[in-house]
Structure 1
Amino acid sequence: MSLSSPLKINYHSPEEEIAFGPGCWLWDYLRRSGASGFLLPLSGGADSSSVAAIVGCMCQLVVKEIENGDEQVKADAIRIGNYTDGQFPTDSKEFAKRIFYTVFMGSENSSKDTKKRAKDLADEIGSWHLDVSIDGVVSALLTLFQTLTGKRPRYKVDGGSNIENLGLQNIQARIRMVLAFMLASLLPWVHNKPGFYLVLGSSNVDEGLRGYLTKYDCSSADINPIGSISKQDLRAFLRWAAVHLGYSSLEEIEAAPPTAELEPIRSNYSQLDEVDMGMTYEELSVYGRLRKIFRCGPVSMFKNLCYRWGSRSSPLEVADKVKHFFKYYSINRHKMTVMTPSYHAESYSPEDNRFDLRQFLYNARWPYQFSKIDELVKELDGEVAFGETSDQDRSRANGVGMGVVAAGSGDPKSGL
């Protein structure tokens, strides 16, 4: 048997990996599960729009493989898309209309901009798009609560407490999960389609690690294509997909500041994710790699970040950031035990079911670790006060020689 010519290896960019990897994974899961399609709560934000674009890419890949003569893909597409009389998919948008529902579940706190962005993207992909108001359901639940307790919670901007404010946000988030599963099971029946639809989740790896999501909200789904992808990588993917997948509305979506839109919009107040979290997505990506890949606890993470961020942040500022992260990481660990099964392209995952089997109940005060960090802050501040200026001393002040994890000494890459 003669040898073939050497094959040219094609290395995909991180953006292409986000498009093609989860896209193929979704198709394989869809055809094996016996489902008839996907349903996605589409908010018009970066995360859910990334998932929508990946499904759109999946539809494009299916049509392309059929054109290339793949009979298995063709047979699966005919069955899933419920084609008859010898028909089969020849247009990705027409195919998406058959197998993909997108639903904008707006409330009084939703902006017209996000509603329009969701509709524009759905039109570009070709999904069957619905616009649903959840205000009536929210009001019904609050009326029931008022009947039971005699009290009606208020948002913080309207004079309510933090507890009231959080409760009102969680009600909206959880209603969306219930509506998503209801629509996924009943919409096919309404449209005389066989089978059921799978609900897609859209929480990224950073939010999963931080616990910046409501337990059993839209992050709870059947499967999640972006569960191991960081916000930084998703934004790069959106810019790429706007050009290479032909979904130009993604440019505007990527440029918009991330917001949950669960609180009222006021002239002097607008809810923003990074403000709510108390950290940037860029910082959160660094925390995730240090915690999950390099197994850093509070003290070792503090030492490492003193080295990384020593030129821009004081030891006290780094200490505050590390304590803030570990506080919310620990109190939200219970959410990580019930995360939606995800496609995994990263070298770590916040999911506890398969990837992190350590205890999930931590002392959120971290008394020993945080006190040790305080001691190191005083030590480092003291060295600076006594005027240590040599290269060796500056290295010590930045954490070198205090047990910094050598493998993590370089800045982590944002790519996959």
Structure 2
Amino acid sequence: MNQIRLASAALNQTPLAWDVNRSNIVAALEAARVADVSLLCLPELCISGYGCEDAFFAQGVQQTSLDMLAEILPATKGLAVALGLPLVVEEQIFNACAFVCDGRLIGFVAKQCLAGDGIHYEPRWFKPWPVGKVSEVDCLGNEYPVGDLMFECGGIKIGMEICRDAWVAQRTGKRLAVRGADIILNPSGSHFAFAKQEIRRDIVLRGSREFHVSYAYTNLLGNEAGNVVYDGGTLIATRGELVAVGPRFSFEDYALAHADIDVDATRADRAAAKLPIIELDGTTLDCDFHLSPPEKEIEPTQPSPWDASPPPKEEEFARAVALGLFDYLRKSRAGGLVISLSGGADSATVATMAWLMVKFGVAELGCQSFARKLSQMSRLSEASRADDLVGELLTCAYQATRNSGDVTRHAARYVAKSIGAKYFEWNVDTMVDAYVETVSQVVGRPLTWEQDDTALQNIQARARAPGAWLLANLSGSLLLTTSNRSEAAVGYATMDGDTAGGLAPIAGIDKAYLLEWLKWMESTGPEGVGPLGALSVINAQQPTAELRPASEGQTDEGDLMPYRVLDAVERAAIRDKLMPVEVFQSVRELFPEYTPEQLGTWVERFFQLWCRNQWKRERYAPSFHLDDENLDPKSWCRFPILSGGFERELAELREYISNC
């Protein structure tokens, strides 16, 4: 039996935070050493941070990455380690991974398949490394091999698939297997999306089974750079079986997963499969290092109790947004969180997420460690319970007008008090009236609902923004905006009003799902936290902006269309790139209860509002990427601010419906 202890560590890194990133790496190395690990895989670009963007072009960033590697080398004593950084070779930048043994740099592997779709722009900064090429790079005072390399430690051969290298049809791992790899490491920076962990599991399992290797996948962790949440979730497989699964959405700086693997067993499988081995001269480096067998028994890492296969979407949503919010608060060094709480579903969801952030964080870290991670708020050090921390971190304000109702006022107060937030109420009618009176005098006529409906609605939302900003500024807090994706799609929000804020935690999720999630939170809630019964006062309502007089009976769906229809139209039009007639055909099958004329009106309304309101999407606060239906033009879904508005296609739709 040729047994070693293999490990992967997820790291919560920050672009260009050199000392923090080095500290996290060194802590993970020490944890691996304590766990009697021989071979450790760390994430892609973990030295510099994955999200450096155009800073990758800076020579200072390139050089500092190498300087940090040199500082980390002594901490790798007794270990073989793979860790990522940007690397300049022949005046081009590559996404590379250093292989280090016992304090010595052996060489670099460079990524061959770059991620250039969705939120990823790697081809903007990096060049893909040619298959089979090996070169040299001058760094740290010596020349080191770089390229399509493998490494041999005491007869055990180790190769690397760097993130996207494993997601393509012609995986790098296939060639590594033919070259005799015993272990494949996958240093990744794989962003969170709903159900994506299942795809990763399949990639890792197929790799270990089809290549007859042991396979270690690692990932980044947390909100690294603002928009993107990484869920961790390291995986180790051997002989087609998962043997270790790391935690996801951890609030720690790193999360180590390890398992013992038997190299002789995978070699026997390879021999039985008669897989040919082709040695390529100069592509496998002898590391002069032996991977020692483990001296003490440790149980392999198991997944969190909630993280089933497949995991519940409700749990993933709760944990992704909560961790994203925590890291944004921590890394921005903001003094707390402020929410303009309307008493409706969206703001209640954001407040609940802030509450869950504290619940999850304290459950994992404890109150003192949680407070230390938010050291910019010294007041947190006195808190001894999660409820106390919520009160110190979160402030909610209900800003009424004469169009606000007792139902929403009660709901806002009840939810805020139930989660332990600070809560304030005030009325903005005097400010609204002052604006209306000033403009009425200027234009020479009174403003009326019959003639000025939209303007009178918007001024109420805008009058609320200065007070919310002022409240946030008093403590240097982060003002959270509560826009959701459905409203973003059609611009059903007031710029500089309810869109005011520095972060939009739920702008990546549709309203129909939010309403479902709130019911789940009321009745069930996340593993280890349980339900929040106070949300019953939210779930009993029909969503309304409360910007028209109460006699109008205003509802969001009345202004727009049923949210289920809106979300189906949005997916068909934006995600699936269908034209108006095709969208109509798809939603007609889904909603036979509506007449063709009614569905046609809603489809046309969607396309018109979508085109008119791209400028709003360009101005929304940063949001978290949660799935492939994001509408954020800065990271996922680009659309021209000015366009023809689908006029030709909508005319075709009207003609098509007339013939139905």
TM-score over 0.5 for the alignment?
A: yes
Query: Could you tell which deviates more after superposition, 99-108 or 319-328?
Result: 319-328
Write 1 or 2 for the structure with the bigger share of strand. Answer: 2
Q: Letter of the aligned partner of 2:312 in structure 1?
A: S
Report Cα offsets for 1:27-66 as digits up to 9, x if no partner. 1011101111010000110000000000011111222123
Q: Letter of the aligned partner of 1:109 in structure 2?
A: N
* 1:136 maps onto 2:417 in alignment: no
Q: Does the residue aligned with 1:101 lie in a helix, a strand or coil?
A: strand
* 1:359 maps onto 2:657 in alignment: no
Which ranges of structure 1 fall in alignment gaps of 5 or more residues? 189-195, 382-416
Q: Does the residue aligned with 1:304 lie in a helix, a strand or coil?
A: helix
Asked whether the equivalents of residues 180 and 199 of structure 1 are also in contact (C-alpha less than 8 Å), the reply is: yes
Q: What is the aligned partner in structure 2 of residue 373 from structure 1?
A: 653
Q: Does the residue aligned with 1:261 lie in a helix, a strand or coil?
A: coil
Match of 2:448 among 154, 160, 170: 154
Q: Does the residue aligned with 2:466 lie in a helix, a strand or coil?
A: helix
Which ranges of structure 2 fall in alignment gaps of 5 or more residues? 6-259, 261-298
Q: Distance in 2 between matches of 1:95 and 1:296?
A: 47
> What is the number of residues matched between the two proteins?
356
Match of 1:259 among 544, 552, 564: 544
Q: Does the residue aligned with 2:622 lie in a helix, a strand or coil?
A: coil
Q: Percent identity?
A: 26
**CA drift at 1:262:** 0.6
Q: What is the aligned partner in structure 1 of residue 517 from structure 2?
A: 237
Q: Does the residue aligned with 2:423 lie in a helix, a strand or coil?
A: strand
Higher alpha-carbon Rg: 2
Q: Residue 304 and residue 42 in structure 1: after superposition, are their counterparts in 2 closer, same or farther (change >3 A)?
A: same
Q: Distance in 1 between matches of 2:593 and 2:437?
A: 50
* 1:212 maps onto 2:492 in alignment: yes
Q: Distance in 2 between matches of 1:151 and 1:43?
A: 31
Q: Distance in 2 between matches of 1:97 and 1:315?
A: 51
Q: Residue 374 and residue 237 in structure 1: after superposition, are their counterparts in 2 closer, same or farther (change >3 A)?
A: closer
- Bigger relative contact order, structure 1 or 2, given CA contacts below 8 A and separation 6+? 1
Q: Distance in 2 between matches of 1:265 and 1:285?
A: 27
Q: How does 1:17-56 map to 2 (within 5 A)?
A: 17-56=316-355
Asked whether the equivalents of residues 614 and 640 of structure 2 are also in contact (C-alpha less than 8 Å), the reply is: no
Q: Distance in 2 between matches of 1:291 and 1:246?
A: 35
**CA drift at 1:335:** 1.3
Q: Letter of the aligned partner of 1:218 in structure 2?
A: D
Q: Letter of the aligned partner of 2:563 in structure 1?
A: Y
Q: TM-score, normalised by structure 2?
A: 0.51
Q: Distance in 2 between matches of 1:274 and 1:197?
A: 33
Q: Letter of the aligned partner of 1:274 in structure 2?
A: E
Q: Distance in 2 between matches of 1:376 and 1:246?
A: 48
Asked whether the equivalents of residues 81 and 95 of structure 1 are also in contact (C-alpha less than 8 Å), the reply is: no
Q: Letter of the aligned partner of 2:648 in structure 1?
A: Y
Q: What is the aligned partner in structure 1 of residue 373 from structure 2?
A: 76
**CA drift at 1:70:** 8.5
**CA drift at 1:8:** 4.4
Q: Distance in 2 between matches of 1:259 and 1:265?
A: 11
Q: What is the aligned partner in structure 1 of residue 357 from structure 2?
A: 58
Q: What is the aligned partner in structure 1 of residue 562 from structure 2?
A: 280
Query: Could you tell which deviates more after superposition, 6-15 or 250-259?
Result: 6-15
Asked whether the equivalents of residues 66 and 74 of structure 1 are also in contact (C-alpha less than 8 Å), the reply is: no
Q: Residue 74 and residue 38 in structure 1: after superposition, are their counterparts in 2 closer, same or farther (change >3 A)?
A: closer
Q: Residue 46 and residue 306 in structure 1: after superposition, are their counterparts in 2 closer, same or farther (change >3 A)?
A: closer
Q: Residue 145 and residue 315 in structure 1: after superposition, are their counterparts in 2 closer, same or farther (change >3 A)?
A: closer
**CA drift at 1:23:** 0.6
Q: Does the residue aligned with 1:249 lie in a helix, a strand or coil?
A: helix
Asked whether the equivalents of residues 614 and 639 of structure 2 are also in contact (C-alpha less than 8 Å), the reply is: no
Q: Letter of the aligned partner of 1:235 in structure 2?
A: L
Q: What is the aligned partner in structure 2 of residue 297 from structure 1?
A: 579
Q: Residue 7 and residue 70 in structure 1: after superposition, are their counterparts in 2 closer, same or farther (change >3 A)?
A: farther
Q: Distance in 1 between matches of 2:599 and 2:442?
A: 46
Q: How does 1:147-226 map to 2 (within 5 A)?
A: 147-155=441-449, 160-161=450-451, 164-186=452-474, 188=475, 196-226=476-506
Q: Letter of the aligned partner of 2:300 in structure 1?
A: S
Q: Letter of the aligned partner of 2:392 in structure 1?
A: R
**CA drift at 1:103:** 0.5
Write 1 or 2 for the structure with the bigger share of helix. Answer: 1
Structure 1 vs Structure 2 CA RMSD: 2.1
Q: Does the residue aligned with 2:397 lie in a helix, a strand or coil?
A: strand
Q: Letter of the aligned partner of 1:53 in structure 2?
A: T
Q: Residue 263 and residue 318 in structure 1: after superposition, are their counterparts in 2 closer, same or farther (change >3 A)?
A: closer
Match of 1:114 among 408, 419, 425: 408
Q: Distance in 2 between matches of 1:28 and 1:6?
A: 25
Q: Distance in 2 between matches of 1:312 and 1:65?
A: 48
* 1:126 maps onto 2:420 in alignment: yes
Asked whether the equivalents of residues 522 and 534 of structure 2 are also in contact (C-alpha less than 8 Å), the reply is: yes
